[in-house]
Structure 1
Amino acid sequence: MESKISVIVPVYNSERFVSKCIESIINQIYLNLEIIIINDGSTDRSTQICEYYAKIDSRIILINKQNSGVSDSRNIGIKVASGEYIGFVDSDDTISSNFYFNLMELMVSNNSDVGVLGNYLVNTRNISILTNQETYFLDGIEAKSRLLTLEFPTSLWAYLYKKEIITNQELNGQIHFFEDFDFNYRVLTSAKKITVLNKHYYFYNSNEYNVNSESLSGRKLTCLEIYNLILNFDERLDIEKAQFFRSHFAISMIINLSKHSVTEKDYKKDIRRECVTMISDITKSSWVPLAYKLLIVMFIVFPSLTTKLLSIKYTRKIKSEGTKN
């Protein structure tokens, strides 16, 4: 008998996309699924849509709860899951009908703890994080090493896990941006064998409702805490290599600051304070690109000028793209 896969789908105000998402899961050619939908206090028609699908497919478990965030929803899903394997799908995305069948076939035949997609589509645009080799295998040490330089997928939806490897793990509810990175680093530390499949099986829908599109906020800034979490977790952490993702997250916040009209000066101060904290480490690291180092130094010395220049560059890019369209 096929092993059961528990697919966890956190839902919050996704009425425009959730039907296609659920249908792409129930139409999998791999039939032994448990579909756990966590409705995180939606205030739109998402609740009614999820209730409809729960009535027509007995494999669906619908949990309605008060809004507490995507990490809490995923943690609840992990606790409820009865499958031998666990996967995640975001409620505004869809998956190919043979996604779980093909990935499970490879994982089972090679006795892998984790299966990973190294290729996916963002609004029809191909994103390839890993090598062009269709299928290959590596251990957790190599995988988490690549994760430090963002050369390995960070998002939960790109992974299929043996339940036993994540049963004692949970997402940190205090981290609200790049929270998957922290979770997967801990999981990969325990993984012995990982299967990587470079196929277009996941379709990421980048839209105005994604967290990536949100304005800068205190919630987003929590990603700057991830470095210390991993430093405290892993006594064997490659500190020099880890400066890459540490500086990358800081750069992301600086760019985010320049894209949006943020009136809270404290955000600028918070980012600058973190940049000052890391500057000594990142300047010594050969893994951090020179462009990253220069931008962070410039932001420390001239925070307002740096964000203004980046804002002008971003505005010109938008206008140029608009002209092309």
Structure 2
Amino acid sequence: MKPKVSVIVPIYNAELYLEECIQSVLHQTLRDIELLLIDDGSTDNSLRICKEYSKKDNRVQVFSNTNVGQGLERNFGVKRAVGEYIAFLDSDDQYKEDMLEKLYQKAVETNADMVSGGYADVYNGNVIEKHLLGNEILDSNEKIKTAMSNLIAYEKKDGYVGCIAVWDSIFRRDLIISNDIQFLSEREVYSEDLLYKLTFMSYSQKIVFCSDITYLYRVNDTSFTNKISESVLIRIITLYDSINIRFGSTLKEYNLKQRITNRTFFTLRFNIKKASKLSDAKKFYRMVVHNQRLMDTIKSYQPTNLKNFAVYYLLRWKMIGILQILCKRS
């Protein structure tokens, strides 16, 4: 009999938190699961740790690949998983012990294609912020399209509704396979999780949100690279194009163009803020203002508050010195 849930964990040089991650899966109250650990060419002890757990628990499978990136390794895992539902877990994060049982029971009760729970940001072992979902059932095209649109971005204000990552949810495996839903590489597109989740939602008949906190997301101060690269700008533009191409017709009535423009701007603003901590921040800012495609993309953005107004026009006027001062102080 196939397991109820297959958990897929791509791993790259994750030895520091990997055992906590693995144990959070193996200690789930839902026992009928499988765990696919996919090493992505680690140079530390990650693969050894994985192999040790596979000897202790026959629910664990270990795979070792060349360094291809998280998105493609997830696709690799889905092809080998046999569970009724698929779950994704990042190698430095953890599940709460009843996550899979709660989400799976909800899926069975409602016959849902996708079930999502809330998550908490954890820093140095302490919960610093909770991200809650309301209890809601999306059982019509209109409700699902509205949720998809709001996940991309609000239409007339900053931000979005929900979690753009895939690790807060379980997904019906048959729907993934029958529609050939795959991750793009994070080396090609920004927020590959968002694209995957939107694509899955577009094929779903029923989606359920539950209010319980089920996932523990580790906040990592070193997650932004210390090396300035224009590739992040290219990936942001690719995200804009990909959403527009895939959902331009189905979400047109929800003012999709404005929503993805908003998404592009606050994704760019996030990276500008992160880059402000680096010694060569100005180099990154110059890349931004001289990337004509990117500047054209955010041209129709309508600032939602005073700070966004300042950032937007400093970019348009190429006043990178003042922009750097503003971002450092905020």
Q: TM-score range by the shorter chain?
A: 0.7 to 0.9
Residues 5 and 264 of structure 1: is their aligned pair in 2 closer, same or farther, counting only changes over 3 Å?
Answer: same
- What is the TM-score when the length of structure 2 is the normalising length? 0.85
2:317 pairs with 1:301: yes
Residues 110 and 245 of structure 1: is their aligned pair in 2 closer, same or farther, counting only changes over 3 Å?
Answer: same
Q: Which residue does the alignment assign to 1:125?
A: 128
Q: Within 5 A, what are the aligned runs for 1:301-320?
A: 301-313=317-329
Q: Which residue does the alignment assign to 2:279?
A: 261
Deviation at 1:29, TM superposition (A): 1.0
Which secondary structure does the structure 2 equivalent of 1:119 belong to? strand
Q: Judge conservation of contact 1:15–1:46 (CA < 8 Å) in 2.
A: yes
Residues 308 and 289 of structure 1: is their aligned pair in 2 closer, same or farther, counting only changes over 3 Å?
Answer: closer
Q: Which residue does the alignment assign to 2:156?
A: none
Q: Which residue does the alignment assign to 1:206?
A: 219
Deviation at 1:310, TM superposition (A): 3.3
Q: Which residue does the alignment assign to 1:165?
A: 175
User: Distance between the aligned counterparts of 1:87 and 1:179, measured in 2?
Assistant: 16
The letter for the 2-side match of 1:45 is N
Which secondary structure does the structure 2 equivalent of 1:115 belong to? strand
Q: Which residue does the alignment assign to 1:8?
A: 8
2:300 pairs with 1:281: yes
Deviation at 1:313, TM superposition (A): 0.9
Q: Within 5 A, what are the aligned runs for 1:114-193?
A: 114-123=114-123, 124-128=127-131, 130=133, 133=134, 135-138=135-138, 139-149=143-153, 150-167=160-177, 168-173=180-185, 174-175=187-188, 177-193=190-206
Which secondary structure does the structure 2 equivalent of 1:112 belong to? coil
The letter for the 2-side match of 1:126 is E
User: Distance between the aligned counterparts of 1:177 and 1:64, measured in 2?
Assistant: 25
The letter for the 2-side match of 1:13 is N
Deviation at 1:11, TM superposition (A): 0.6
* Identity across the alignment (%): 25
Q: Which residue does the alignment assign to 1:242?
A: 260
Q: Which residue does the alignment assign to 1:319?
A: none
The letter for the 1-side match of 2:324 is K
Cα deviation 1:168-227 (Å, max 9, x = unaligned): 1111114354221121121111122111112222111122453x4655434433133201
Q: Which residue does the alignment assign to 1:321?
A: none
User: Distance between the aligned counterparts of 2:301 and 2:128, measured in 1?
Assistant: 32
User: Distance between the aligned counterparts of 2:289 and 2:181, measured in 1?
Assistant: 29
Q: Judge conservation of contact 1:255–1:310 (CA < 8 Å) in 2.
A: no
User: Distance between the aligned counterparts of 1:20 and 1:271, measured in 2?
Assistant: 42
The letter for the 2-side match of 1:198 is S
Q: Bigger shift: 269-278 or 25-34?
A: 269-278
Deviation at 1:311, TM superposition (A): 4.7
The structure 1 residue matched to 2:241, chosen from 228, 234, 251, is 228
Q: Any gaps of 5 or more consecutive residues in structure 2?
A: 154-159
Q: Which residue does the alignment assign to 1:38?
A: 38
Q: Which residue does the alignment assign to 1:85?
A: 85
Which secondary structure does the structure 2 equivalent of 1:154 belong to? coil
What's the RMSD between the two structures over aligned residues? 2.3
Q: Bigger shift: 297-306 or 5-14?
A: 297-306
User: Distance between the aligned counterparts of 2:93 and 2:106, measured in 1?
Assistant: 23
Q: Any gaps of 5 or more consecutive residues in structure 1?
A: 315-325
- What is the TM-score when the length of structure 1 is the normalising length? 0.86
Deviation at 1:104, TM superposition (A): 0.8
Which secondary structure does the structure 1 equivalent of 2:121 belong to? strand
Instruction: Say how many residue pairs are matched.
Output: 307
User: Distance between the aligned counterparts of 2:41 and 2:22, measured in 1?
Assistant: 18
Q: Name the one with the larger helix percent.
A: 1
Deviation at 1:90, TM superposition (A): 0.6
Q: Judge conservation of contact 1:122–1:206 (CA < 8 Å) in 2.
A: yes
User: Distance between the aligned counterparts of 1:254 and 1:184, measured in 2?
Assistant: 25
Residues 223 and 122 of structure 1: is their aligned pair in 2 closer, same or farther, counting only changes over 3 Å?
Answer: farther
Residues 272 and 199 of structure 1: is their aligned pair in 2 closer, same or farther, counting only changes over 3 Å?
Answer: farther
